[in-house]
Amino acid sequence: MKCKYCFIILLLAFVPLLTQCTAPKNSAAAEGEALVFDKEQVWQLVAMRGKEMPVQDDPVIFMLHPESGTLRGRIACNRYFADYKVSLDKVTAEGTHYALTVQYVSGGDVQCPEADMAVQERYLALLAKADACLLTPYTLTLYQKGKEVLRFGLQ
């Protein structure tokens, strides 16, 4: 005997499985689990000291390499490098908070236009002094003594 509703019943049985497979990877934060720096991701600077950055043809790029504990990026006409360490601080509904140490910041010394060099100097100084960060699925915010200094959006 054929069941004319069997297809619908089977489909309803598999809907919960399908929704689990398509859940966002970083939905864990909402469940109290920490978001982690588990892969290389490219971040673009969107704000410095709370001031939104203008749209640029050559944006400031920030990349973390978790396996080696290094970061690198591009600002103005130079590239920069550093070592970093993070340790879990707390998980909130806002995201995952980490203590952060950035060491050995080294920026390129190619001379760019004066205005770009000034931004580069401020940026690298803020990066070197960052002591905490907040990771969400789409933003990475660096802090110094509890104040936001650099905010990046996932590129």
CATH number at residue 52: 2.40.128.270
* Counted domains in the chain: 1
Q: Is residue 2 part of a domain?
A: no
Q: Give the tens place of pLDDT for each residue, 71-125.
A: 999 998 899 999 999 999 999 999 999 999 999 999 877 888 888 888 899 999 9
**CB–CB of 76/61 below 8 Å?**
no
What region does 59 belong to: left with phi over 0, alpha with psi -120 to 50, or beta? beta
pLDDT confidence of residue 111 = 85
Q: Is residue 149 part of a domain?
A: yes
Locus of tokens 């000291």:
49
pTM for the whole structure: 0.77
Tell me the residue range of the domain where 31 lies. Answer: 25-154
How far apart (Å, rounded) are the C-alpha atoms in residues 83 and 101?
A: 8
pLDDT confidence of residue 62 = 93
**Collapsing DSSP states into helix, strand and coil, what is residue 153?**
strand
- For residues 52-64, give the mean pLDDT: 85
